[in-house]
Amino acid sequence: MAKYYVEIPGNLSLENQSKAIQGEEALAARFVGMHIWTNSNYLLTNLAEFEEIYVAPEKKLGTPKLSKTLPKGITPAWAGQMIEQGTALPQVFLIRENPA
């Protein structure tokens, strides 16, 4: 499966960044991870990594939601650092809601 990268602006809220991930996944892709990076305008932002999906997964991925806290008993799909509304966050979790 081919991987590709999408910039997700660091000036967005976690909710809007979650929607950006969901929108990209609607194009037959799966979120892999995210890194803080400096774009071509020398702004700190987020670089999300996606993997193209050629065959529908057996289980639906569920709606992606970025959160600063991890709910008890939930295993995150991803955890790492990122920029939210211009501020670096040391730990953010991506959880999946409503998996089928």
Condensed to tens digits (0 to 9), the pLDDT of residues 16-68 reads: 999 999 999 999 899 999 999 999 999 999 999 999 998 766 677 899 999 99
Residue 98: predicted pLDDT:
78
**Closest CA relative to residue 54, chosen from 83, 32, 30:** 30
Residue tagged 């959160």 (tokens): 67
The model carries a pTM of: 0.90
Q: Which value, in Å, is the radius of gyration of the alpha carbons in the chain?
A: 13
Burial classification of residue 62, based on how many CB atoms lie within 10 Å of its CB (0-12 exposed, 13-18 middle, 19 or more buried):
middle
Cβ atoms of 32 and 76 closer than 8 Å: no
Is residue 84 scored above 90 in pLDDT? yes
Residue 5: predicted pLDDT:
97
Is residue 96 scored above 90 in pLDDT? yes
Query: How would you list the strands of the sheet with 3-8, edge to edge?
Result: 3-8, 44-52, 29-38
d(CA 74, CA 12): 25
